[in-house]
Amino acid sequence: MNKDELVQEIGRMLIQDPRISSQPWQHLVIVAQIADNSAQVNGFLFDSAGKATPTAPKNTRVIDKFEELLNVMAEQDGEFWKACLVRIDPLTGNISIDFEFDHPEKWLISPSTITEMAEKLRPDGMICVKKILPDN
């Protein structure tokens, strides 16, 4: 597969993942961190009110696809990225992907950074609307 085919395959695997597809969401943001002996894939589902819910794909084969993308790009460009940011908008069908070659920690989602990263990775123009009225 080439880079574009892999990006589409990763997007398909993410939106069809049972852990992700079973939740209501308006935007999906996933970060893949690939290191020499480890890989981490996690992110957030954003609902229509802008609320971020942490998530990670259940299907671990998506990690293999990210590693394949890393290797295909390294063969073409001669350098390895360390982190990959995927954004999916199911309403438009758009998928965007960005790569970090030097500072993977800028997208690192961990227990100590989860709140900060939910805000940092929130899609442009989306604000979190806090519920002020109780459910009836």
Domain 3-120, architecture per CATH: 2-Layer Sandwich (3.30)
Among all chains, which residue has been given the structure tokens 């085919």? 5
Whole-number pLDDT of residue 126 = 57
| 108 neighbors 120 (Cβ within 8 angstroms) | no
Residues 119-133 pLDDT 10s: 999 987 655 554 333
Confidence of residue 91 (pLDDT cuts 50, 70, 90): confident
| 83 neighbors 100 (Cβ within 8 angstroms) | yes
Can you read off the two tokens belonging to residue 49? Answer: 């009110």
* R_g (Cα) of the chain, nearest Å: 15
| 42 neighbors 58 (Cβ within 8 angstroms) | no
Can you read off the two tokens belonging to residue 18? Answer: 């049972």
| pLDDT tops 90 at residue 85 | yes
Q: Sketch the domain layout of the chain as residue ranges.
A: 3-120
pTM metric for this prediction: 0.89
